[in-house]
């Protein structure tokens, strides 16, 4: 199909473009960007008053396929992505079976192509079966097209093993994505260790558990020259460490979730399992440090850590509930509400964090609007107020800490390979 997006404000940081203009899409590619464009027979979308950006990219999700399709599958997960304005997402390896070999990667790629609405990248495991004992088929998986390696959900406890992983992954120019929490300090913890946890009588997960793990792996990255990517940063001291490591030239990148930018542990006082996640939402001083980190470029990407669970799993007592919730359909709105509307981030900075840098870190050809490039485009409003209703989610996992909250800003159009996959809140496929 041919598509003409008219009159939107194009925010295209990689081209230093921030202007009202039109985009013409033909045969899945961007054919023209300019003023007063026209095209006979093209579908016209009026984007007046809206923001038009390179397709949003989430480099950290859990689509649960294979093996846990009751929680999510490629179709439902990519429907949720389209609804949230994402044109490309990367899914983690901690499935059943674990994605630790090239044959499985290739099979899942084909399944995602057949049933998915947006583009799905795969992250292979660092270790076989996530056990931290034997390296997974990293070379074969790199050849098959994975964008990185991670034992996400598990900390690689052996420093020697992590060293080997960094050395090996560097041969393929792929990042090792690090779930950095020292397990001996977080065992049986359920939320941030601090004043609120003490008052609630809940065992905590101290921030120093993250700080210690990050310190070790930054040193290993410095030693090996490998690319370490710190997943879902939550601690203020971790932000300081990464900032210093970047100044020293260590090959490190990192990410933060929309929820860690939005909430503090004060929101957990009602023991709502929707707020339970790992790493935990921390106190206000940590949140402020995270906001400073996204503002000054220490933090490279904003992600969802979309982690859907079945209703019966999360609808239990707080300490019995698993970590995580479904975030693809609320992430953009949460970021706009809590960083753009508060004057912390500009739209250019948000697009850089949610499209440009994720594409660069994963090494995919995306994150820019340019003639001749594939037409992956997101259009969103910065002003629409809406109340989150989890019952309207496309994801199978209906749990969300944002449920019932009013957010400002929402995706209006999601275009993948020139095809509209979501229009004004309705997924079209």
- For the chain (429 residues), the mean pLDDT of every run of 10, in chain order, is 95 97 97 93 96 98 97 98 98 97 98 98 98 96 98 95 97 97 94 98 98 98 98 98 98 98 98 97 98 98 98 95 98 98 98 98 98 98 98 98 98 98 94
pLDDT attached to residue 150: 98
Q: Rounded to an integer, what distance in angstroms lies between the CA atom of residue 296 and that of residue 301?
A: 12
Catalytic residues: 305
179 annotated among ligand-binding-site residues: yes
Q: Rounded to an integer, what distance in angstroms lies between the CA atom of residue 39 and that of residue 249?
A: 49
117 annotated among ligand-binding-site residues: no
Q: Which residues, 6+ apart, have CB-to-CB distance to 201 below 8 Å?
A: none
Decide the pairing of beta strands 191-192 and 176-178.
unpaired
94 annotated among ligand-binding-site residues: yes
328 annotated among ligand-binding-site residues: no
pLDDT attached to residue 1: 76
192 annotated among ligand-binding-site residues: no
Q: Name residue 385's beta-bridge partners.
A: 408
Q: Name residue 406's beta-bridge partners.
A: 387
User: What's the full length of the chain, in residues?
Assistant: 429
Cα–Cα distances (Å) from 363 to 108, 278, 317, 357, in that order, read 20, 27, 41, 10
62 annotated among ligand-binding-site residues: yes
Strands across the sheet with 56-61, in order?
Answer: 56-61, 86-91, 119-124, 148-150, 176-178, 228-230, 252-257, 301-303
The whole-model pTM stands at 0.97
3-state secondary structure of 111: helix
Packing angle, helices 74-83 and 102-115, rounded to 10: 60
pLDDT attached to residue 14: 97
pLDDT attached to residue 41: 87
- CA 124 to chain centroid, in Å, comes to 16
pLDDT attached to residue 39: 85
Q: Domains (ranges, CATH) in the chain?
A: 2-51+374-427 (2.30.40.10), 56-367 (3.20.20.140)
pLDDT attached to residue 324: 97
3-state secondary structure of 66: coil
Nearest residue to 289 (alpha-carbon basis) of 341, 235, 326: 235
Q: Rounded to an integer, what distance in angstroms lies between the CA atom of residue 204 and that of residue 266?
A: 14
205 annotated among ligand-binding-site residues: no
Q: Rounded to an integer, what distance in angstroms lies between the CA atom of residue 109 and that of residue 148?
A: 15
Q: Are 185 and 212 in contact (CB under 8 A)?
A: yes
Cα–Cα distances (Å) from 414 to 50, 88, 301, 341, in that order, read 13, 11, 20, 22
63 annotated among ligand-binding-site residues: yes
Query: Residue 392, CB half-sphere, CA atoms under 13 Å: how many?
Result: 14
């Amino acid at each position: 199909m041919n598509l003409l997006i008219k009159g939107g404000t194009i925010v295209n940081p990689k081209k230093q473009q921030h202007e009202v203009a039109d985009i013409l899409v033909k045969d899945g590619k961007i054919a023209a960007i300019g003023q007063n464009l026209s095209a006979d027979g093209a579908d016209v979308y009026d984007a007046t008053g809206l923001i038009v950006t390179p397709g949003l990219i989430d480099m950290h999700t859990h689509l649960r396929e294979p093996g846990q399709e009751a929680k999510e599958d490629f179709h439902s997960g990519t429907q949720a992505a389209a609804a949230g304005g994402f044109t490309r997402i990367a899914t983690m390896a901690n499935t059943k079976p674990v994605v630790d070999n090239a044959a499985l990667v290739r099979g899942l790629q084909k399944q995602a192509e057949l049933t998915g609405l947006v583009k799905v990248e795969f992250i292979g495991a660092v270790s076989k079966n996530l056990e931290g004992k034997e390296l997974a088929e990293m070379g074969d998986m790199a050849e098959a097209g994975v964008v990185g390696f991670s034992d996400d959900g598990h900390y690689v406890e052996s420093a020697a093993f992590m060293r080997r992983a960094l050395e090996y992954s560097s041969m393929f120019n792929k990042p090792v994505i690090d779930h950095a929490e020292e397990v001996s300090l977080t065992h049986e913890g359920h939320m941030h260790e601090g004043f609120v946890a003490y008052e609630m009588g809940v065992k905590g997960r101290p921030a120093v558990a993250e700080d210690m793990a990050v310190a070790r792996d930054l040193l290993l990255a410095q030693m090996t020259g490998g690319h370490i990517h710190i997943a879902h940063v939550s601690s203020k001291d971790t932000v300081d460490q990464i900032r210093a490591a970047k100044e020293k030239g260590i090959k490190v990148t990192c990410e933060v979730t929309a929820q860690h930018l939005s909430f503090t542990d004060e929101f957990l006082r009602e023991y709502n399992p929707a707020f339970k996640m790992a790493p935990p939402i921390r106190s206000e001083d940590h949140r402020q440090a995270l906001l400073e980190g996204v503002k000054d470029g220490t933090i490279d990407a904003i992600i969802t850590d979309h982690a859907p669970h079945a209703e019966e799993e999360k609808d239990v007592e707080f300490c019995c509930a698993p970590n995580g919730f479904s975030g693809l359909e609320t992430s953009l709105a949460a970021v706009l509400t809590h960083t753009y509307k508060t004057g912390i981030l500009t739209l250019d900075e948000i697009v850089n964090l949610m499209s440009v840098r994720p594409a660069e870190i994963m090494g995919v050809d995306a994150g820019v609007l340019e003639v001749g490039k594939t037409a992956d485009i997101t259009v969103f409003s910065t002003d629409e107020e809406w109340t989150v209703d989890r019952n309207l989610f496309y994801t199978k996992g209906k749990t969300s800490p944002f449920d019932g909250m009013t957010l400002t800003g929402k995706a209006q159009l999601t275009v993948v390979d020139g095809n509209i996959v979501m229009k004004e809140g309705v997924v079209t496929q």
